[in-house]
Structure 1
Amino acid sequence: MEEVEVVVAHQERATLRVGDVFLKIDADQTRTDVEVEAMAIAPIPTPEVLWRKPPVLALAALPGTALGRLGEPSTASSATWTAAGAAVRTLHDAPLPPWPGRSLDEIASELDSECTWLLANDVLPTDLVTANRRIAETAVRPWTPVFAHGDLQVAHVFVDGDEVTGVVDWSEAGQGDAMYDLASLTLGHRELLSDVLAGYGADADLDVIRAWWSLRSLTAIRWLVEHGFDPSSPGCEVDVLRSQL
């Protein structure tokens, strides 16, 4: 009899694994709509959709293992990270999905409100928030949209040896900033950015990637705390903010 593994669970969604099947349960079916459509048109490997009966989406497990985890040293080779960069380039070079991504105004408003919350609740020292906000503002500028994954954290990329076997969790996909995907992939793994860019190509803006590291960390902390995660764990979002200084 297969055991049920709780992969992730919080107030918005839960993912369970039973053998080689992942069951994703999401209260917001618009996110699932995006995920299913994005996987159908993405030019890189994605999980096979086995069936969908709202609010449950069943996906086949990908071969291989996650490229890494935030807060843990990477055990993947440089060649594997380079392969991940090449896969991101393939995605970004694909035709745009037909739905829009987040606007600059939305991103700027979120940055403002989250920094205000961090300071009002004494979550982080004022100088740490202020300095990282200055860095983060570099990311809030016009960009040429690409087919972006939107949540390309390192745990969402699966590899086997030096080959990318697939990418999971497409619910935030849409037209977005290429540098955000690259920053998400390398968050907490800045020492591997050069390997990723070796596969991605030369037209990456390092200042903007660095800005997205700050912005993603600043805007994630409240959500993480409210959903039972600890952004101050070693190597995670708070350490990323400190490393930016």
Structure 2
Amino acid sequence: MIEGVVFDKDGTLFDFRQSWGVWTAQLLQQLAQDQAHADALAAAIGYYPAQQDFHPDSPVIAATAEEISAALLPHLPGHTQPELAARLNALAQHAVMAPAVPLRPVLGALRDRGLKIGLATNDTEAPARAHLTAHGILDLFDFVAGYDSGHGPKPGPGMCLAFARATGIDPARAVMVGDSAHDLIAGRAAGMRCVAVLTGIAKAEELRPHADVVLADIGALGAWIDRLADDS
């Protein structure tokens, strides 16, 4: 029986391309000195400006601000990595997120099933809370962690295990839901079931080896959990 669900944020609760494509364009506009410089910065983080899309290996998808800033730093003389990472985190708090599904009805239905809900993101905790607050859903979460919350980043299992400790749930009775291999590897290492969704950049064939099931989006999660209960 499933008792709790841990969600990734970007690409899972929020559509990745719609949310971060525009934000990345704005970031590069602020950092770049000219078009050639903007192109170099975009290439460094696997961003396609014309399409506002990302290469599957882009660090923007699942990496931390430190890792993204490290990729940009060789093209930004005069900046330091801590300063650049802090700038990225500050800008991220104001990113306009596009929900992948109507979030309050979907998450509320999970709460109505008696499930505990958590968030484990490689974003920092402050922007994560800001994004949840902006969409009126922070109150639905029993646990919120970013990579800076003291549990380490994904694909390590620290945030998933911290959710289990905070809620008193056996990890075997919890589900990790995400759009990247990082998310699913983290959940599996914590001993959780893993659900992949396709509202990020990764394709089903990339995620399937790490997942118990691949869903179009989190809107189908409740029905999948119900089927597990019926089969048990």
Per the TM superposition, whether the score is higher than 0.5 is no
Q: Given the two structures, how large is their TM-score scaled by the length of structure 2? A: 0.29
Higher strand share: 1
